Structure 1
């Protein structure tokens, strides 16, 4: 961040925090964040914050920073383990884009490290039980909520709404994706009946969860949250594409599915499995969109380009899952 922006940010933080003597001692761009940027900000008196703002290109389905800040506040109030939300700035003139500031927490979210560790989160089974409890807290947030009005009207049938949304996403793509269409048709034919909707994090997975040796320290990245079927969050976490090579540990590559369910409470396993298939279709569609950001020249980025190479593997898994479900 250049000196002019840093000076504007300092002035804004002084006003927002009520501390006219505040000084930014250090700023560093954190790793990750293909869609958003996260900056570690150290300020006077030992305060450690994170500033979250937009990257050069964003996904159309991603909430803005004001909306994500509202979601973070709702989760914090519901007892979900999230970084405390502190300040929101919607004035793009300050740094070039809207941003919010949250308290920085300790731990790691690095997926490949998390799935290899036997001790992070208190051990594999303890960790996924805790993740189940976090999801159960998220799912206590239910419509209507005036502070979350930007989420729109809750769907009458979240499963069929998901199929319709994914079909529309595929129709926008330049290249036909027959395997994804095949998977969607299977979901359409086997959709379970509607259940009462809750807030869904909608990206609750390894890589978006901060852990230390004692347990969960933060649930991150609320930019895709929506009203939906709570089983969708469980299915997303259990999807093979988020196990990062630790395939035997069905809950995010971290621990056993049974322990996740135990931590969560009442779970319809067949419904979770339906959403697992949906998770692979959704991630494949997102991967295509991510690659398109690079190919189009909007944002030249190796990570975005490589994401597109995941699609064939996801298509293979979709075919396998449909075959297993049909056989059952």
Structure 2
């Protein structure tokens, strides 16, 4: 962070915190965050904070920082393990884009490290039970909520809403995606009955959950949250594409599905499996979108280009999962 931005930030934080003597003693850009930037701030008085703001390129479906701040506040109040949200700045003149500040927590979220550890989160089975409890707390938040009005009206049928949204996403693609269309048709034919929608994190997976040796220290990255079927979060976490190679551990590559369900409470396994197929279709669609950003020249980026190479593997998994469901 350059000196001019740091000086503007210091003045703003002094006013927000009510501390005229506040100083920033160190800043560092944290790793991760393809859509957002996360800056570690060391602040006078031994305070450790994180500032979260936009990267140059964002996704249209991603909430803005004011909306993510509101989601963090709602989750924090519901007892979800999230970093405490402290301050929100919507004045782009300070840093060039809106941002918010939250307390910094210790731990690791790196998926490739998490799935190879037998001790993070208090051990594999204890960890996924704790993840189930976190999801249950998130899903205790129900519409309507004035503070979350930006989420819009909750869908009467979350499964039908997902299918319509994904079909629209595929229709705007430059090239046809017959496997994804076929997978969507399968979901349409087998959709379960509607359930009352709740707040769904919508990206609850290994890589967005911070752990230390004792347990969960933070649920991160709320920019895709929406009202939907609670089983959508369970299906996303259990999807093979988020196991980081630890395929035998069905709950995020960390532990067993049974332990996750035990921590969560009442679970309809068949509905979770439906949402697992949905998860692969959604991630494949996102991967196609990201590759197109590179191919079109809008944003030349090797990581975006490589993301497109995941699509055939995701399509293969969709075919395998649908065949297994049809044979059952």
TM tier, shorter chain?
A: over 0.9
For 1:49 and 1:295, the matched residues in 2 are separated by 37
In structure 2, C-alpha distance between the alignment counterparts of 1:132 and 1:100, rounded to whole Å: 28
**Residue 131 of structure 1: SS of its match in structure 2?**
helix
Shift of 1:298: 3.3
Secondary structure in 2 aligned to 1:25? Answer: strand
Give me the whole-angstrom Cα distance separating, in 2, the residues matched to 1:124 and 1:326.
31
Query: Which digits, 9 at most, give the CA deviation of each residue in 1:228-287, with x for residues without a partner?
Result: 000000000000000000000000000000000000000000000000000000000111
TM-score (normalised: structure 1): 0.99
Distance (whole Å) between structure 2 residues aligned to residue 35 and residue 300 of structure 1: 15
Aligned twin of 1:146: 146
Unmatched 5+ residue regions in structure 1?
Answer: none
Deviation of 1:300 after TM superposition, in Å, equals 3.0
Indicate the residue corresponding to 1:61 in structure 2.
61
Displacement after TM superposition at 1:111 (Å)? 0.3
* Higher mean displacement: 158-167 or 17-26: 17-26
Name 2:323's counterpart in structure 1. Answer: 323
Cα offset, 1:299, TM superposition: 3.1
Give the deviation of 1:150 after TM superposition: 0.3
Q: Which runs of 5+ in 2 are unaligned?
A: none
Change (3 A) 1:299 1:46: farther
Cα deviation for residue 172 of structure 1 reads: 1.3
Distance 1:289 1:127 in 2: 33
The residue number in structure 2 matching 1:118 is 118
2:48 corresponds in structure 1 to 48
Residues 199-235 of structure 1, C-alpha deviation per residue, up to 9 Å, x if partnerless?
A: 0000000000000000000000000000000000000
Whether the aligned pair in 2 keeps the contact of 1:56 and 1:299 (CA below 8 Å) is: no
- In structure 1, C-alpha distance between the alignment counterparts of 2:21 and 2:292, rounded to whole Å: 45
Report whether the alignment pairs 1:105 with 2:111: no
Aligned to 1:131: 131
Residue 185 of structure 1: CA displacement?
0.3
Correspondence 1:169 to 2:169 = yes
Structure 1 residue 295: Cα displacement:
2.7
Shift, 1:3, TM fit: 1.4
Query: C-alpha displacement at 1:291, in angstroms?
Result: 1.8
1:91 corresponds to which residue? Answer: 91
How far 1:4 moved relative to its partner?
Answer: 1.2
Secondary structure at 2:147's aligned position in 1?
Answer: helix
How far is the alpha carbon of 1:326 from its aligned partner? Answer: 1.0
Alignment RMSD (CA, Å)? 0.8
- Do the aligned partners of 1:26 and 1:42 also contact (CA within 8 Å) in 2? yes
Note if 1:283 corresponds to 2:256: no
Q: How does 1:282-321 map to 2 (within 5 A)?
A: 282-321=282-321
SS at match of 1:127: helix
Distance 1:97 1:224 in 2: 19
Paired residue total: 328
